[in-house]
Amino acid sequence: MVKKYIILILFTLFIFSGCSDNTNIIITPKNMSITGLPYENNEYMVTIDETHFCNHDGKLLFYSDSQTLQNNQNLTHFIYNDGNETHVVFEVSALQDTAFMIYEGARASNNGTALITRSYNRNFNYNTNNFKVWKAPTLTTKGTLFYTRGIFSKNTLTTSRDLNEIILKKNTNYTMVFTSLANSNRVDMIGTYYNYPCIVR
């Protein structure tokens, strides 16, 4: 009996240590405390990734853009992020060789054309005012380069996606620049983001 409870305690500590950075949420039946595994009536503890939970709650958002570029032509986005902690992942596809760069601390005299942000959960119309994106801005300051990536492709649509989220600096503007290194180059991109924490604790 003592051995059984020692194993239970160690397993419980393992579960909670994995959630210490708030990346997972423990879901249990209503009014049920964590006293043992498995639960009675074949009910088990389940953990899910926070972004997955945000998606169910309608708070995982995205914006997208697409344009055909010629050699040395740019597709430029201007991003505004306020005092919230915004986590973002960029996915970029290109038909030809393309350079992708992000600059921090940008300034614009004209923001350009607004891009629409949407929720991945189409049952929600949730949106935020803290994160906004414009296309083709008139820049006065591009900002400081802190991120660069290359896509190498020859007439085949090639996709590159971040493995980790970028946490944007609060109250800071950004410039994203996609530069085509060949003619007749279609460039597609999706930015996926959420405000942390999107789950009320």
Alpha carbon of residue 167 to chain centroid: 9
The residues pairing with 173 across neighbouring beta strands, listed in sequence order, are 80
pLDDT at res. 200 = 53
Neighbours of 59 (CB within 10 A): 22
Q: How far is CA 7 from CA 2, 19, 32, 63, 88, in A?
A: 9, 19, 20, 46, 39
Give 10-residue mean pLDDT values along the chain (201 residues).
Answer: 42 42 46 48 59 72 94 96 88 96 96 91 72 94 94 90 90 96 96 77 46
Q: Does domain 61-196 have CATH number 2.60.120?
A: yes
CB neighbourhood size of 76 (10 A):
19
- What are the domain boundaries of the chain? 2-44, 61-196
pLDDT of residue 43: 56
Give the predicted TM-score (pTM) of the model. Answer: 0.73
Model pLDDT, residue 109: 96
